[in-house]
Structures are given as structure tokens and as C-alpha cells.
Amino acid sequence: MPKEGSAYYPNCKAARAAGAAPLYRGDPGYRSELDRDGDGIACETK
């Protein structure tokens, strides 16, 4: 498993394509820029 912060997804489309979404705060690749509502879950589907 990659270390926290070692994955980078430029956007949620890329995270989904990699099978990484949703991203939770603390997960590799999580960035606040991808967390639209600030709830600690990025690239979530509604």
C-alpha cells in the first residue's frame, strides 16, 4: 500500500479511473481541493 500522500490525482475523474474513489481524509491521494463539501470525503458520488 502506498504511503499517505504518495498518490496524486489531478481530479476526481482520474481518482475514479484508478479505482481509488471515494478518497477519505488521510488516504493516499486525498486533497482538500477534491473535497467539495469539506466533509473529509473527496470524489464521493451522491
What pLDDT score was predicted for residue 37? 96
Q: What is the pLDDT along the chain (46 residues), one digit of tens a residue?
A: 444 448 999 999 999 999 999 999 999 999 999 999 999 999 998 7
Check residue 45 and give its pLDDT: 86
Q: What is residue 9's predicted lDDT score, i.e. its pLDDT?
A: 98
Burial class (CB in 10 A: 0-12, 13-18, 19+), 6: exposed
- Phi/psi for 12 (5° steps) reads -70, -30
Q: What is the CA radius of gyration of the chain?
A: 9
For the chain, domain boundaries: 1-46
